[in-house]
Amino acid sequence: MSLSQKIRVLIVDDSAFMRKVIGDILSAGSGIEIIGKARNGDEAIAKARELSPDVITLDMEMPGKNGLDVLREIMQIKPVPVVMVSSLTKGGANATMQALNAGAVDFVTKPSGTISLDMEKVADELRQKIIAASKASMKNAYGPGAEALTERVQSMPAPLQPHAPRRDALRKPELLVVAASTGGPNALQEVIPALPGDFPMPVMVVQHMPPGFTTSFASRLNELSELDVIEACDGMPVRRGTAIIAPGGYHLIVERTPKDLVCRLTETPPVRSVRPAADVLFASVSEVVGGNVITVVLTGMGRDGLDGARLLRAKGAYVITESKETCVIYGMPGAINEAGLSDEVLPIYSIAEAIERAAR
């Protein structure tokens, strides 16, 4: 898509009011054109075929075929970047996780339920995610278990040979920190479950998600992993055998007590428009733990993690970033690579092995 072309969007929602509100929000942003609207699943599939949109916004809760059914069918016909529009409920969170695993690029939550009169609260977020989705690599949007994953991996080059660690890096790693954003849930489902239950250090993860969704995400990762994967709470010890997920709406930092390294949660302002932010966790870790850290940055929109990775690497941390060939969005790892901070740049399927190698 050239810079002069507008992003062509199809809006799918069973509510005429929501279709209008979402259309008005997106039309108010430069560079976005609404090319069609659909009120149910069958109409959405027909218009996706007919109009070939660049991005689809897809309501999760619809009569007949729900959003997840529609998403799966669209992905089988012709993969298109889809941003799910979901209610903030436990059921909605679980369904959203399934949608991300089925190929949705990202999601936005309706602030006050199925019919949200206050969608303006998420107007900027919605526009930003539509723009990011238009740049997504759909061949990389499928999660573990999707049929496309096997074909994708088989078509990719062999993993790079083991990388020789820098002489100044990792005397004895104490901690693994991981950051991801757009496309991150699926990427993390390839990395965290691949780590053994006796992995020799704690794991701390920042995945950009709003409140209410990280609990479901942590539960899903825990089902797949040998490590205990849990959502962070204030004062929680940071211990080996555990992967801790930053909760939506809070920055996660670390503090060293006489007995343990512990989690602290803060509601200080968002950094680079996100909370939790990788930069906040990374900066905290650099102060409290120093450079004996393995740092991993996966697919994601924006530049979160860049400043924190620079602090960590200056103290000797080992930095691994996901390569462009497997990223849904190459923003976060790309920024670190452009700054010359990556020790290894690897496809997603080689990152767990690289982490274990660095840990040893």
CB atoms within 10 A of CB 281: 24
Please tell me the distance from the alpha carbon of residue 265 to that of residue 247, in angstroms, as a whole number.
Answer: 8
Q: Is 323 a catalytic residue?
A: no
Nearest to 243 by CA among 191, 280, 289: 191
Catalytic residue among 86, 87, 181, 350: 181
- Backbone torsions φ then ψ of 89, nearest 5 degrees: -135, 165
Residue pointed to by tokens 């991801």: 180
Give the burial class of 302: count Cβ atoms within 10 A of its Cβ; 0-12 exposed, 13-18 middle, 19 or more buried: buried
Q: Where are the beta strands (DSSP E) in 135-188?
A: 175-180
Element (H, E) at 345: strand 344-346
Q: Is 116 a catalytic residue?
A: no
Element (H, E) at 253: strand 251-256
Catalytic residue among 59, 279, 304, 307: 304
Label residues 177-200 b or e (16+ Cβ within 10 Å = b): bbbbbbbbbbbbbbbbbbbeeebe
How is residue 182 annotated by DSSP?
T
For residue 274 the two structure tokens come to 């996100």
Strands 251-256 and 242-245, bridge-based pairing: unpaired
Catalytic residue among 208, 251, 286, 343: 208
Q: Is 304 a catalytic residue?
A: yes
Catalytic residues: 181, 208, 304
